[in-house]
């Protein structure tokens, strides 16, 4: 496994790989959710590249950039064991050289949900992923459904800017009690960890109502909100039953919904989502 930091070294290492390349972008602190993307990329490509970069521009001023976990040696061991060929671990100055002033902004689908609560977040995400696509020139890039809005924003960017690659979306990997795996779960103390599955319980209750015939967006949100309100440690940022294309809340009836939420458990902000209706969240061209 080649490990490089400088961009010219990445380009040289990339050029030494032959056959198709699958890319898995990450911020490190790897868990089984990340590794599911790596395994899928390994199965579908001749070579696999990964990036580990805690991207400062996608963090707000009061977010957890400085305390975000960075267990680099452990991450590199996991990637090596999983058969990754090339890892890019750039410094912030390599991604954002002095005088940097070019940003990628995806407009409409960046605005609701996470966009409302984390202004500038998707501008940071889209910019760094555009740079990753340019640097690795992958044939396929792997992302988790866990960050559904991120995938929708990046799929829009891929189409708009014409990146010649396929985006592959992998299902959310969960703990046995339903909690979606996240690098931020390590912040939870035991009491908070016990409360955290409330997100998936709320999503599952709304899904059960949908399966029993409920099609009203307002009602699905009420079901989720009621369950979240039963957990004293949970503070809701938003609860949404949205049109999966516009990401805007559906007020009345629909057949497809992206149910999503952001909830603080103590000081840790968790997000989760499920799709109702057709299971494919993304346009055909983005699918595996």
Active site residue 121: no
Options 10, 23, 27, 129; binder of ligand AMP; rule CB under 6 A:
27
Closest approach of ligand AMP to the CB of residue 32, in Å:
7
Shortest distance in whole angstroms from residue 223 CB to ligand AMP: 23
Greatest CA separation found in the chain?
56
Per the CB < 8 A criterion, the answer to whether 177 and 203 are in contact is no
Regarding 127 and contact with ligand AMP (CB under 6 A), the answer is: no
Stretch that binds ligand AMP, among 31-39, 114-122, 198-206, 229-237 (CB under 6 A): 31-39
Q: Which stretch binds ligand AMP (CB under 6 A): 80-88, 113-121, 166-174, 198-206?
A: 166-174
* Tokens at 80, concatenated: 């090596």
Q: How far is the CB of 271 from ligand AMP (least distance, A)?
A: 10
Nearer to ligand AMP, 142 or 250 (CB): 142
Task: In angstroms, give the least distance from the CB of 253 to ligand AMP.
Answer: 30
Closest CA to 257 of 286, 288, 287, 216: 216
- Determine the Cα angle at 257 with ends 105 and 26, to 5°: 45
Place of tokens 């799929």: 155
CB 97 within 8 A of CB 218: no
The DSSP result for 100-155, as a single string, is --------GGGSSTHHHHSTTHHHHHHHHHHHHHHHH--SEEEEEGGGHHHHHHHH
Window 178-207: residues binding ligand AMP (CB under 6 A): 180-183
Residue 143 interacting with ligand AMP (CB under 6 A): yes
Give the number of residues in contact with ligand AMP, rule: CB under 6 A: 17
Candidates 170, 195, 203, 271; binder of ligand AMP (CB under 6 A) is 170
Q: Which is nearest to 236 in space by CA: 283, 198, 209, 277?
A: 198
Token pair recorded at residue 12: 């040289």
34 binds ligand AMP (CB under 6 A): yes
Q: How far is the C-alpha of 137 from the C-alpha of 97, rounded, in Å?
A: 20
Residue 183 beta carbon to ligand AMP: minimum distance, rounded to whole angstroms = 5
- Taking the C-alpha atoms of residue 34 and residue 39, their distance in angstroms, rounded to an integer, is 9
β-strand pairing of 21-26 with 47-52: parallel
Catalytic residue among 31, 34, 117, 121: 34
Among 75, 94, 147, 286, binds ligand AMP (CB under 6 A): 147
Q: Which residues bind ligand AMP (CB under 6 A)?
A: 26-27, 33-34, 36-37, 143-144, 146-147, 170, 172-173, 180-183
Catalytic residue IDs = 34
């Amino acid at each position: 496994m080649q490990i490089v930091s400088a961009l010219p070294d990445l380009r040289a290492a990339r050029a030494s790989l032959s056959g198709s390349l699958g890319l898995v972008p990450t911020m490190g602190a790897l868990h089984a959710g990340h590794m599911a993307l790596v395994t899928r990329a390994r199965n579908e490509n001749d070579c696999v590249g990964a990036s580990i970069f805690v991207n400062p521009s996608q963090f707000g001023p009061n977010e957890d950039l400085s305390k975000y976990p960075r267990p680099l040696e452990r991450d590199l061991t996991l990637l090596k064991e999983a058969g990754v060929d090339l890892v890019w671990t750039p410094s912030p100055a390599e991604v954002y050289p002095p005088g940097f002033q070019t940003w990628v902004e995806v407009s409409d689908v960046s605005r609701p949900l996470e966009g409302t609560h984390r202004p500038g977040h998707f501008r940071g995400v889209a910019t760094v992923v555009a740079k990753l696509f340019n640097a690795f020139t992958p044939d396929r890039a792997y992302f988790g459904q866990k960050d559904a809005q991120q995938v929708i924003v990046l799929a829009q960017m891929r189409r708009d800017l014409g990146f010649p690659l396929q985006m592959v979306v992998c299902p959310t990997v969960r703990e046995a009690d339903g909690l979606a795996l996240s690098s931020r779960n390590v912040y939870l103390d035991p009491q908070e960890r016990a409360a955290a599955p409330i997100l998936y319980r709320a999503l599952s209750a709304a899904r059960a109502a949908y399966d029993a015939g409920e099609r009203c967006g307002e009602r699905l949100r009420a079901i989720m909100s009621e369950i979240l309100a039963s957990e004293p440690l949970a503070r809701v940022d938003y609860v949404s039953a949205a049109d999966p294309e516009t990401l805007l809340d559906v007020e009345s009836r629909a057949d497809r919904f992206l149910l999503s939420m952001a909830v603080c458990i103590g000081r840790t902000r968790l997000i989760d989502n499920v799709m109702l209706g057709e299971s494919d969240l993304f346009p055909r061209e983005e699918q595996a």
